[in-house]
């Protein structure tokens, strides 16, 4: 709800120019990159529950700042606040879930969580669009308020029964941080499957920014969007988002049903097929000029990402020592952010100097190494 019309809010209410708009996104990704590792260490040293709660309150505060103070400086600061909140949640949430639900099949748990996120996304798009038509600040402020309310509810109901700190004897925050960082680095170096999975995550980050930033421009510049009754060019993007979320919910349910029937799925097969499918769909989307063809392959490309991410998270969870889960998941998030920071400008430069379709093709090529890394990770039985 808070982000569905954020770019429109930045343009029409805050009145950011093109450079300021890009700077806002860069500050957000940089904040996620810089804070990801320290917040993961905090979760493994002190409490995953506490880390998630801090993240929820920072989320709420950041969105409230962004919506209530429509000026460039507060909006820029808000990206740091809620970006930092995101890093407190990323890694800590997955580690908390894995510890509290250790007797359940983690693939199914993460897929169900992804499915609920898709359902929340559908509701958020609808409510955010309805409120945004009244006032563009309303969905951002209300979303921030609901994050704070959810944080207060979680204080009362969120359990943490299986946590044990990664380091029992404390030597001070800085020394503990350095010690845990060394332990994490040594563990990752000795785990080739985990290294391959982290490399796949980096490739995913490299290949995501161009798709996210250029797909809308490709629809607007390189095809004719049909006007069907109330479906104008603006409304179409809301409809596309809803269709994509619906497909994600359905695909997750089908995969969960298959797990319940067969007991498990091959993570190697899922990761390979979704990575290859994403590359193919992205190339077809780039060369397409028919709106309906572009819409089909765009939705399929998004579906590939939706299926792959929770399966990779569950796969990574099985390779990680319980006490260092949050730190390793945070490292994964940091690599994803780093990939976006690096990949975005590369793809943007190609799109600017050559064309948007070639920028999208470049995005697809950035994921190609994953096709060689997935078999490496799958050498051990999955």
Specify whether 29 is located in the same domain as 137: yes
DSSP single-letter state for residue 323:
G
CATH of the domain at 70: 1.20.1250
User: Is 103 part of a structural domain of the chain?
Assistant: yes
pLDDT digits (tens, 9 = 90+) for 35-59: 776 666 777 777 889 989 999 999 9
Element (H, E) at 234: helix 233-262
Specify whether 98 is located in the same domain as 192: no
Residue 318 token pair: 């099985």
Specify whether 297 is located in the same domain as 339: yes
pTM value > 0.95: no
User: Is 168 part of a structural domain of the chain?
Assistant: no
User: Is 216 part of a structural domain of the chain?
Assistant: yes
Integer CA distances (angstroms), 139 to 121, 148, 219, 240, in order: 13, 14, 26, 20
Specify whether 31 is located in the same domain as 117: yes
CATH of the domain at 316: 1.20.1250.20
Task: List, in order, residues 6 or more apart from 217 with CB less than 8 Å away.
Answer: 351, 356
Specify whether 279 is located in the same domain as 366: yes
Instruction: Give the pLDDT of residue 381.
Output: 47
User: Is 166 part of a structural domain of the chain?
Assistant: no
pLDDT digits (tens, 9 = 90+) for 327-382: 777 777 778 878 877 887 788 788 878 888 898 898 888 989 989 888 887 775 44
Specify whether 58 is located in the same domain as 202: no
Whole-number mean pLDDT of the chain?
Answer: 81
d(CA 66, CA 174): 32
User: Is 167 part of a structural domain of the chain?
Assistant: no
Counted domains in the chain? 2
Structural domain of residue 239, as residue ranges?
Answer: 183-381
User: Is 219 part of a structural domain of the chain?
Assistant: yes
User: Is 169 part of a structural domain of the chain?
Assistant: no
pLDDT digits (tens, 9 = 90+) for 180-213: 666 666 656 667 787 888 888 888 888 887 787 6
Question: Which residues, listed in sequence order, are joined to residue 231 by a DSSP beta bridge?
Answer: 228
């Amino acid at each position: 709800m808070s982000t569905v019309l954020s770019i429109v809010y930045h343009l029409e209410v805050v009145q950011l120019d093109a450079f300021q708009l890009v700077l806002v996104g860069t500050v957000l990704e940089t904040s996620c990159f810089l804070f990801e590792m320290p917040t993961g260490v905090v979760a493994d040293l002190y409490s995953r529950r506490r880390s998630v709660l801090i993240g929820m309150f920072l989320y709420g505060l950041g969105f409230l700042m962004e919506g209530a103070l429509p000026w460039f400086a507060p909006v820029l600061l808000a990206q740091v606040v809620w970006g930092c909140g995101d890093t407190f949640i990323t890694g800590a949430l997955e580690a908390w879930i894995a510890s509290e639900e250790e007797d359940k099949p983690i693939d199914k748990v993460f897929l169900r969580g992804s499915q609920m996120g898709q359902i929340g996304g559908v509701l958020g798009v609808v409510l955010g669009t309805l409120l945004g038509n009244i006032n563009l600040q309303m969905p951002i402020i209300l979303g921030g308020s609901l994050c704070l309310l959810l944080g207060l509810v979680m204080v009362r109901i969120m359990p943490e029964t299986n946590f044990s700190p990664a380091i029992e004897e404390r030597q001070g925050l800085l020394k503990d941080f350095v010690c845990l960082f060394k332990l994490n680095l040594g563990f990752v170096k000795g785990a080739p499957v985990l290294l391959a999975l982290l490399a796949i995550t980096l490739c995913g980050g490299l290949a995501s920014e161009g798709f996210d930033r250029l797909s809308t421009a490709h629809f607007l510049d390189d095809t004719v969007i049909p006007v069907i009754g109330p479906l104008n060019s603006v409304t179409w993007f809301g409809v596309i988002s809803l269709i994509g979320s619906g497909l994600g919910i359905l695909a997750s349910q089908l995969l969960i049903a298959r797990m319940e029937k067969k007991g498990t799925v091959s993570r190697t097969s899922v990761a390979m097929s979704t990575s290859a499918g994403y590359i193919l769909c992205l190339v077809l989307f780039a060369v397409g000029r028919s709106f309906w063809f572009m819409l089909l392959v765009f939705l399929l490309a998004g579906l590939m990402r939706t299926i792959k991410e929770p399966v990779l998270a569950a796969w990574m969870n099985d390779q990680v020592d319980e006490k260092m889960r949050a730190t390793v998941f945070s490292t994964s998030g940091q690599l994803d952010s780093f990939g976006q920071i690096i990949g975005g400008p590369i793809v943007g430069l190609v799109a600017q100097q050559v064309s948007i379709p070639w920028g999208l093709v470049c995005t697809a090529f950035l994921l190609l190494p994953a096709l060689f890394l997935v078999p490496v990770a799958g050498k051990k039985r999955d």
